Amino acid sequence: MKFMLMMNCPRNGYDEFMKLPKAMLEAHIGFMVEFAKKLSRQGELVAAEGLAAPTQAKLVRAGKNGKPVTDGVFPESKEYLAGYWIVDVDGAERAYEIAAEASTAPLPEGQVLEIEVREVMSGPPQDLG
Amino acid sequence: MKERGLDPAIEHLLRELAPQVLGAAVRRFRDFVACEDAVQEALIAATEQWPRYGMPDDPRAWLMKVARRRMTDHVRSEIARRERETAIADAAPLATAPLPDDPLHAEADDTLMLLYMCCHPALTDASAIALTLRAVGGLTTEEIAKAFLVPAATMGQRISRAKQMIVDSRVPFALPDADERAARLGAVLHVLYLVFNEGYTASAGDSLQRTDLSNEAIRLTRAVHALLPRDPEVDGLLALMLLTDARRDARTAADGALVPLDEQDRSRWNRTMINEGVALASAALRRGAVGEYQLLAAIAAVHDEAPRAEDTDWPQILALYGVLMRIADNPMVVLSHAVAAAMVHGPRAGLELLEPLANDDRLREHHRLHAVRAHLLERAGERDAALAQYRAAAERTTSIPERDYLLRKAAALE
């Protein structure tokens, strides 16, 4: 079963992240790099990606001529997806364990990474008798 | 699996020879982890060299020779490493006098022993599946990774860890004794069944690698059947696979949508597979001892023998599910039993049987309970309740083709 573990961050999350003290920043980056390696060694990693800052994001729709029309991001958006892992595991419990471990990434006192766990729709259809 | 772009005859031969060569290597060198790597390298070398330079006269001996060369290199570097590390050349197990080159009768046992090893109960299902496909099925790590849609590096690690767990568990490379054999064979059949389902349930748009998994499962189950021709559960599993796979083409529409059994075009069912499956299922039932796979095969046979959906012998299916419920503690069986009861005694009877299941922790939140309830409510003429149940099922399934099917059913009632 595949699960997506999403690292959501609040609107100001990127700003906060940019301002992390050096030691904390190094610890955080080191944790993320090692965590992905560990998931791969465990034979569980499908993908791990971080996303570029939301200030670089665009909202896109097709214009009248079918060409893309891009907008800046809605300012009222509260949360952004900062990155995600996709893992292939035997069940939801294992996905929660991995998410719990991910949430221990070093951050300043009072900040905790909360991980949203969603199952990927890769399950088998059953014969409908 | 097609991507090697190999002549199918070579492909088939390599996969046939893989467990024989590995078995012979393990008996000779007693090191499963290293031998498995060596044989994998030999298989890859064969796929590169045979198409270019032609098939060797004795393909098996060729593979043995390459694997043995790899193993000799490995043993040498192992000894050197140990000498460096401990200054004690404690290489006794590695220096065992080579055994004579595999007498023919051992080949069959080797395949079985490998299966017992790879389907060791200490492994998770996912690990046992991956290891079985590589060590016994002769697939490459890349092929297995593609079939399960994970990166090759991840699959490689999963296989390495599985091998290491087998070494740590100290399971000997030998046939389990009589007491243990039934349980271990059960684990083997379970893994083969899972491989089959992975392939069978892959949707039409999926890569060939996925759907080929069912062919691979059937091939391996045939091999087990050839080795244990009088085991009724092996008969049953092979029959179940054939009787199920016979319907594969009719099961999905051209656009990938699921087609339920009662709407399938039965002229597209594979008659050859059905005939073989029915013969196997009947032979198994005549042997007396009744097991889960035999019963599932018998049920599949009843479906497959009905010329039209309305000709299905539901009373017989109901009776078979009744027996199955007594020997298997599986909530899905209870659901199927309720469906059969509804076909025989009407939708109300089925719905009544579903009622206690709402308190079953394994089923309460399962989409299949909602889907079955939806079907029965629809047949009972309770449109609104059926609609709500179809949507509840659609919300809970993790299969996109199934979700689409359920949403279409709901939309049709709107």
CATH of the domain at A26: 3.30.70.1060
Residue B308 backbone phi and psi in degrees, to 5: -130, 160
Going by the DSSP 8-state scheme, the letter that residue B255 receives in this structure is T
Dump pLDDT digits (tens) for B86-127: 654 444 444 344 444 444 456 667 888 899 999 988 898 899
Q: Say whether residue B252 is in contact with chain A using an 8 A CB cutoff.
A: no
Q: For residue B245, what are the contacts with CB-CB under 8 A and spacing of at least 6?
A: B196, B200, B214, B218, B270, B273
Strand partners, A50: A83
Closest chain A residue by Cα to residue B335: A129
- For all residues of chain A together, what is the average pLDDT? 88
Nearest to A32 by CA among A52, A8, A57, A7: A7
CB B32 within 8 A of CB B173: yes
The arithmetic mean of pLDDT across residues B255-272, rounded, is: 92
Nearest to B405 by CA among A81, A128, A4: A128
Six token digits for residue B199: 């392939």
Contact state of A124 with B202 under an 8 Å Cβ cutoff: yes
The CA distance from B258 to A124, in Å, is: 11
Which chain B residues contact residue A1 at CB under 8 A?
A: 398
For the cut 80, the answer to whether the pLDDT of residue A128 exceeds it is no
For the cut 90, the answer to whether the pLDDT of residue B329 exceeds it is no
Distinct helix (H) and strand (E) counts, chain A: 3, 6
Q: How many CA atoms lie within 13 A of B147 on its CB side?
A: 31
Residue A61 located in a structural domain? yes
Give how far A46 is from chain B: nearest CA, Å: 5
**Percent of chain B surpassing pLDDT 70:** 91
Mutate to test the interface with A, among B154, B244, B264, B363 (most CBs of A within 10 A): B154
For the cut 70, the answer to whether the pLDDT of residue A36 exceeds it is yes
Predicted TM-score (pTM) of the model is 0.86
Q: Say whether residue A126 is in contact with chain B using an 8 A CB cutoff.
A: yes
Query: For chain B, how big is the Rg over CA atoms in Å?
Result: 24
Number of Cβ within a 10 Å radius of residue B5: 8
Q: Say whether residue B366 is in contact with chain A using an 8 A CB cutoff.
A: no
Dump pLDDT digits (tens) for B337-378: 999 999 999 999 999 999 988 888 888 888 999 999 999 999
**Percent of chain B surpassing pLDDT 90:** 57
Q: Say whether residue A127 is in contact with chain B using an 8 A CB cutoff.
A: yes
Q: Within the 25-84 window of chain A, which residues sit less than 8 Å (CB to CB) from chain B?
A: 40-47
Strand partners, A4: A86, A118
Ranges of CATH 1.25.40 domains, chain B? 318-414
Closest chain A residue by Cα to residue B149: A46
Burial class (CB in 10 A: 0-12, 13-18, 19+), B398: middle
Residue A45 located in a structural domain? yes
Residue A111 located in a structural domain? yes
Residue A128 located in a structural domain? no
Contact state of B151 with A125 under an 8 Å Cβ cutoff: no
Does the structural domain B318-414 have CATH classification 1.25.40? yes
Give how far B400 is from chain A: nearest CA, Å: 6
Q: Say whether residue B347 is in contact with chain A using an 8 A CB cutoff.
A: no
Using DSSP bridges, classify how beta strands A59-62 and A115-119 pair: parallel, antiparallel or unpaired.
unpaired
Highest mean pLDDT among A123-127, B80-84, B267-271: B267-271
Nearest to B228 by CA among B284, B291, B288, B296: B284
Choose among B155, B375, B402: nearest Cβ to A126: B402
Angle at B109 between CA B107 and CA B112, to 5 degrees: 115
CB A113 within 8 A of CB A99: no
Nearest to B64 by CA among B30, B118, B20: B20
- Per the structure, the complete domain to which residue A97 belongs is given by 2-119
Choose among B150, B154, B398: nearest Cβ to A123: B398
Going by the DSSP 8-state scheme, the letter that residue A90 receives in this structure is S
The CA distance from B134 to B128, in Å, is: 10
Angle at B339 between CA B407 and CA A119, to 5 degrees: 40
The structural domain count of chain A equals 1
CB B94 within 8 A of CB B75: yes
Residue A56 located in a structural domain? yes
